[in-house]
Amino acid sequence: MQDEKFKVKFNERKERVRVLFAMNNDHQTYVLFDILVSMLAEQLTQGPKALRGFDLIVCAINDSTPIDFSKIVEYYTTEELNRLGIEFVSVDCDSYVQKGNIERLKLNTQTMQAYASPGTRDNSLTCQQLFEQISDKSTTEDLMHIIREDIWIQTAREKNCTILIKPDSMTQMAVEILSDTIRGRGSEIPLKTQEVFIGDFEVIHPLRDVLNSEVKMYSRALSLDNLSPILQQTKSVSDVSTKNKTVREMVNEYFASLEVEYPETVSTVVKIGAKLGNSSGSQQIQHCKICKVPIYHDPKQWIEQITVPGSVPPQTQEEFANHQRYLDSINGAETEEDAQNDSNQPEEVKLCYGCMVTLRVSNVFELQWPSGPTEEQVLSEYVLDDDS
Ligand SMILES: [Zn+2]
């Protein structure tokens, strides 16, 4: 945030960048918010003509752990927040789901081909119901994560912001890198660890050099823990039985204990993660229908190669006949399935490796999923910033 574009302005005509702050209910968020407030306040002390360097829009998502803005307003006072021009937005998870069309995504596990039936609008579908389609906790968490990301991107667009600030600390990034790797979502790592451009707006992580233990110390020192009951929870993840934990929670726990004795391991993981890039130069990149990340390699090929490393082509007449029969059986199964779908013909869609594995592992063969009203524009392009 040392960039010229965030610096104090002395000329009213100079355009201010609009920044969307993705608010979670955790220590990192409250600490980064406090830092941003101090930064804006400090800018206004730089002379009588000083104007703040950027417009801060704080976006919280109303889900199972809603954020209580009134506590924040009480702590910083309304006058101060108004003086600094900070705007608060709360987005309802259910209304996000109901706003767009809901598509039925089907995965044929034999061919690993995915199909989407044309979307219909369902004004009564809740986020909760969307997640109830899956019994596996880690998958639910993945999907929740995807929805939250999409809400931030959409809100940033609606609010005309050109920058999205994520409060992830270095420890959080290490957790994301390892759990993404474990969950088969490695291609998302560069999107989470580097400064990226999504279409024409930028995603930045100002706390990327700070450990979670340091974040917590800051929070305690400034009594930020009083801003949310979640921050005061003394119950650690290790009190929950392993059976009820998600992959991310377990990795989180792992780093929480590792960070105490070996803080350097956290930065090593993040540094390695940041070195990973995605293959550029691919001409036409398609996006995953569920999580919207770009697909660089055909995941179907990956899966086939892992299970059958380079099959021998049929050679004898009998083998050819068997192969043809196999192909017919797959196609037959498909046509049967298609016929069951209403009059609407399902369209073939792309899923990334992570989503495909996620659905297969949790035995979800049909998933109702919001197609998103602005999908086409929002996801047109993810570009990595070469400067970082
Ligand atoms: Zn995906």
Q: How far is the CA of 354 from the centre of ligand 1 (A)?
A: 6
Under-50 pLDDT residues of the chain: 336-339, 341-342, 373-388
Q: How many CB atoms lie within 10 A of CB 37?
A: 18
Residue 171 is predicted with a pLDDT of 94
Domain-embedded: residue 316: no
Domain-embedded: residue 137: yes
Domain-embedded: residue 143: yes
Residue 311 is predicted with a pLDDT of 64
Render pLDDT for 49-74 as a digit per residue (tens, 0 to 9). 889 999 999 999 988 778 888 999 99
310: its two tokens:
């380079």
The answer to whether 89 and 59 have CB atoms below 8 angstroms apart is yes
Domain-embedded: residue 191: yes
Q: How far is the CA of 188 from the centre of ligand 1 (A)?
A: 9
- Rounded CA-CA distance 200/206 in Å is 19
4: its two tokens:
């010229």
Residue 32 is predicted with a pLDDT of 97
Domain hosting 92: range is: 4-103+119-281
Domain-embedded: residue 321: no
Q: How far is the CA of 290 from the centre of ligand 1 (A)?
A: 5
Residue 156 is predicted with a pLDDT of 92
The pairing of beta strand 87-92 with beta strand 163-165: unpaired
Domain-embedded: residue 376: no
Residue 386 is predicted with a pLDDT of 43
Q: How far is the CA of 350 from the centre of ligand 1 (A)?
A: 8
Q: What is the pTM of this model?
A: 0.83
Render pLDDT for 214-267 as a digit per residue (tens, 0 to 9). 999 999 999 999 898 888 876 665 666 777 788 899 999 999 888 888 989 999
Domain-embedded: residue 377: no
Domain-embedded: residue 169: yes
Q: How far is the CA of 361 from the centre of ligand 1 (A)?
A: 14
Q: How far is the CA of 187 from the centre of ligand 1 (A)?
A: 10
Residue 341 is predicted with a pLDDT of 47
Q: How far is the CA of 64 from the centre of ligand 1 (A)?
A: 23
Residue 167 is predicted with a pLDDT of 95
- Total domain count, the chain: 1
Cβ-based burial of 263 (10 A; exposed 0-12, middle 13-18, buried ≥19): middle
Q: How far is the CA of 322 from the centre of ligand 1 (A)?
A: 34
Q: How far is the CA of 360 from the centre of ligand 1 (A)?
A: 13
Q: What is the CATH number of the domain that holds 55?
A: 3.40.50.620
370: its two tokens:
């919001």
